[in-house]
Amino acid sequence: VVVLHRGDPDRGTVIVRVDTLGQGIRIFTRAYGPEGHIQWTPALDGAAVNGEAADAYVARCLNWDPDAWVVEAEERSGDNPFAAGFP
């Protein structure tokens, strides 16, 4: 996992770019559900997109929320490695 953009340590969303190693990039954003639990929402209808489209989406997010964190992980399945939580 690589931190691509350091956000504010106390606020700002988290954006996860998942590189599927040849099948495109999937993007997930962290949000809080109605009961305060963390949930991950797939961006771009959950589709794997090319690097240019992923970069454009992340740039729009950072323009709207410069406090956001952006991390990238490699996972052939395209699954978000953070979805299960942390050990």
Q: What DSSP character marks residue 21?
A: S
pLDDT tens series, the chain, 87 aa = 999 999 999 888 999 999 999 999 999 999 888 888 889 999 999 999 999 999 999 999 999 999 999 999 999 999 999 988 754
Which run of H or of E encompasses 18?
strand 14-19
Which pTM value belongs to this model? 0.89
Query: Distance (Å, rounded) from C-alpha 13 to C-alpha 45?
Result: 18
Q: What are phi and psi of 76, to 5 degrees?
A: -55, -35
Domain extents in the chain:
2-74
Which fold would CATH assign to domain 2-74?
hypothetical protein tt1805 (3.40.1530)
User: How buried is 51 (Cβ within 10 angstroms: 0-12 exposed, 13-18 middle, 19+ buried)?
Assistant: exposed
